[in-house]
Structure 1
Amino acid sequence: MGILNKIFKKSRQPEGDGIFYNQMKALLGFAPLTIDYYQRAFIHRSSNKTDENGNAINYERLEFLGDAMLGAVIAAHLFSEVPTGDEGYLTKMRSKIVSREHLNELGRDLNLIKWVKSKVSAQHFGENIHGNLFEAFIGAIYLDRGFVYCEKFIFEKVIVPYVDIPKLEGKVISYKSLVIEWCQKGKKPFHYEVYEDNGTEGQKHFGVKLSIDNKVVAKARATSKKKAEEKASQRAYFAFQEKINKK
Structure 2
Amino acid sequence: MAILKNIFTSRPSHDENFFVVIKNILGFAPKDIAIYHEAFTHRSMNNTNIDGSAQSYERLEFLGDAMLSAVIASHLFNEVPTGDEGYLTKMRSKVVSREHLNELGRDLGLINLLKTSVPTDQFGGNIHGNIFEALIGAIYLDKGYKYCEKFIYKRVIKPYVDIERLEGKVISYKSLFIEWCQKHKKHFKFSVYEDTGNDSLKHFGVKLLLDDELVGKARATSKKKAEERAAKRAYYKLQIVIDKDFH
Could you state the TM-score of these two structures normalised by the residue count of structure 2? 0.90
Quick one: distance in 1 between partners of 2:37 and 2:26? 14
SS in 2 for 1:208: strand
Structure (1/2) with the larger helix percentage: 2
Quick one: distance in 2 between partners of 1:218 and 1:154? 37
Quick one: distance in 2 between partners of 1:223 and 1:96? 24
> For residue 156 of structure 1, what is the amino acid of its counterpart?
K
SS in 1 for 2:191: strand
In the alignment, what sits opposite 1:222?
A: 220
In the alignment, what sits opposite 2:3?
A: none
CA distance 1:114–1:167, change in 2 (3 Å): same
Aligned residue runs from structure 1 range 126-205, under 5 A:
126-195=124-193, 197=195, 199-205=197-203
Deviation digits for residues 135-167 of structure 1, max 9, x if unmatched?
000000001011010001101111111111111
In the alignment, what sits opposite 1:233?
A: 231
- Aligned alpha-carbon RMSD (Å): 1.7
Could you state the TM-score of these two structures normalised by the residue count of structure 1? 0.90
> For residue 45 of structure 1, what is the amino acid of its counterpart?
R
**Which segment drifts farther, 210-219 or 110-119?**
210-219
In the alignment, what sits opposite 1:64?
A: 62
Structure 1 position 113 matched with structure 2 position 96: no
After TM superposition, give the deviation of residue 185 of structure 1 in Å: 1.1
Alignment check: 8 A CA contact 1:196 1:205 kept:
no
Quick one: distance in 2 between partners of 1:166 and 1:67? 24
Alignment check: 8 A CA contact 1:198 1:206 kept:
no
Alignment check: 8 A CA contact 1:67 1:139 kept:
yes
In the alignment, what sits opposite 1:28?
A: 26
> For residue 180 of structure 1, what is the amino acid of its counterpart?
I
Quick one: distance in 2 between partners of 1:205 and 1:145? 45
Quick one: distance in 1 between partners of 2:143 and 2:193? 48
How many aligned positions are there? 234
Q: Which of 56, 74, 77 in structure 1 is aligned with 2:75?
A: 77
CA distance 1:74–1:231, change in 2 (3 Å): same
> For residue 30 of structure 1, what is the amino acid of its counterpart?
F
Percent of residue pairs identical = 66
After TM superposition, give the deviation of residue 196 of structure 1 in Å: 6.2
After TM superposition, give the deviation of residue 216 of structure 1 in Å: 2.6
Where structure 1 has 5 or more consecutive residues not aligned to the other structure, the ranges are: 1-13
Alignment check: 8 A CA contact 1:47 1:118 kept:
yes
SS in 2 for 1:194: strand
**Which segment drifts farther, 145-154 or 223-232?**
223-232
Alignment check: 8 A CA contact 1:218 1:235 kept:
yes
In the alignment, what sits opposite 1:89?
A: 87
After TM superposition, give the deviation of residue 235 of structure 1 in Å: 0.7
> For residue 245 of structure 1, what is the amino acid of its counterpart?
D
Quick one: distance in 2 between partners of 1:198 and 1:144? 52
Quick one: distance in 2 between partners of 1:195 and 1:140? 45
